[in-house]
Amino acid sequence: MLDTAAEARVGPNALIQMDRALTARLGDRAADRIFAAAGVAREVPGGMVPQAQVRALFDAVAAARPDDWPEIAAEAGRATGDYILAHRIPAPARALLGVLPAGPAARLLLGAVARHAWTFAGSGTCRTASWPHPSLTLAPNPLAMPGCPWHTAVFARLFGRLAGPRVRITHTACCALGAAGCTFDITFEAP
């Protein structure tokens, strides 16, 4: 995490997967227009990207697609989660989490997510709460959108695949709606 929002950077998949979600749903020309409205180059970044670019793109998507931006953001979030699963979590860690019961797996994953929060929190900070009411809070969340469908989808994909299909992520507080932080509660469905 860097000291100022102007300097803060986040992982490139926030842009890459939003581009893919826009293109799949709307086509290249519409994606070009939305990226242009955001003032963001539509190219595959080679590394971490300024959080301001992601913020601008998220805002441009919401402005251009007022009726379906949450679904587009969630599609991009799921794809970001898939990328993280395939490329950023070592195979031994995936194997270990896969054999643990949901609770212990979720505990380990929550710690790992918090340690790597700089990739999705930018200038924000990440706090976690442990059992019996586990949660993750980004305060402030520089990429907050009402309901935070992108973050919710990223976390749901990671926890659902690594801690088990009964794990649910619920967004219970949102910076975009006036809260001090965005909170994502982790719960378990009964078998």
Residue 136, SS3 per DSSP = strand
Q: And the tokens for 90?
A: 């070592």
Contacts of range 1-6, beta carbons closer than 8 Å, 24 or more positions apart: 1/117, 1/118, 1/121, 1/122, 1/123, 1/124, 1/125, 2/122, 2/123, 3/123, 4/123, 5/51, 5/52, 5/122, 5/123, 5/142, 6/50, 6/52
pLDDT at 3: 45
Q: What is the pLDDT of residues 55-102, one digit of tens each?
A: 999 999 999 999 999 999 999 999 999 999 999 999 999 999 999 999
- d(Cα 181, Cα 56) in Å, to the nearest integer? 19
pLDDT at 130: 87
Q: What is the pLDDT of residues 117-174, one digit of tens each?
A: 988 999 999 999 988 899 999 999 999 999 999 999 999 999 999 999 999 999 999 9
- d(Cα 72, Cα 18) in Å, to the nearest integer? 7
Token pair 């918090």 in the structure block, residue? 114
Output the pTM of the full model.
0.94
Domains of the chain with CATH codes:
9-188 (3.90.1520.10)
Segment 178-187 shows an average pLDDT of 97
